[in-house]
Amino acid sequence: MILGELLHQILSVVVTALDPAALREAAKQAAKNQPEVIPDNMMQASMYATIVMMALLQLGIIVVFFLALRSVQRRGKWILNATRVLQVFSVFFALRMLTLFLMTPAATKVPVALFAVDGAAQIVVGVAGLLGLFYASRKESQDYLRPAEQQQQ
């Protein structure tokens, strides 16, 4: 699940870098509100800085997801909170999977195969999220996830 999400985030950054037309248009709109003219090279640098910041934010979210998974696996101190975080991620992945069928790609310079691989990765992650929700709701899972202090009582 983590690898699928990482693949999706990498492909998202690649698609944005290959065809930054939407990002360029947003930068031009923001520049119109400025009293001074912004040079094209400064606008280009800010676009790529935005892509880098987006990638770092996405990587941070994946790290939180990984830490929550590891906490559940090792039955760490914050296992109950980690379980809630994973449930939120699972719902998000499932909803994102459903919205795939309602959207069309906006980028025109990006190969269709890239969108196909990204869509397949999102579908796999969404199905894994739904299965995670299903199995997390079972009694056996609830017993396993209960902290050790509560199980001894």
* pLDDT by residue, tens only, the chain of 153 residues: 889 999 999 998 888 888 888 788 888 887 787 888 878 888 888 888 988 999 999 999 999 999 999 998 888 888 889 999 999 999 999 999 999 888 877 767 888 888 889 999 999 999 999 999 999 889 988 888 876 556 555
Q: What is the pLDDT of residue 65?
A: 92
pTM score of the predicted model: 0.79
> Do 110 and 13 form a contact (C-beta atoms < 8 A)?
no
Q: How far is 24 from 21, CA to CA, in rounded Å? A: 5
Q: What is the DSSP letter of 88?
A: H
How far from the centroid of its chain's Cα atoms is residue 131's Cα?
18
Spatial CA neighbour of 15 closest among 130, 89, 122, 129: 122
Q: How far is 62 from 58, CA to CA, in rounded Å? A: 6
> Would you list the domain boundaries of the chain?
2-148
Hey, what long-range contacts does 82-87 have (CB within 8 A, 24 or more apart)?
83/136, 83/145, 86/132, 86/136, 87/132, 87/133, 87/136
Please report the DSSP string for 24-83 in residue order.
HHHHHHHHHTSSSPPPHHHHHHHHHHHHHHHHHHHHHHHHHHHHHHHHHHHT-TTHHHHH
Q: What is the pLDDT of residue 64?
A: 94
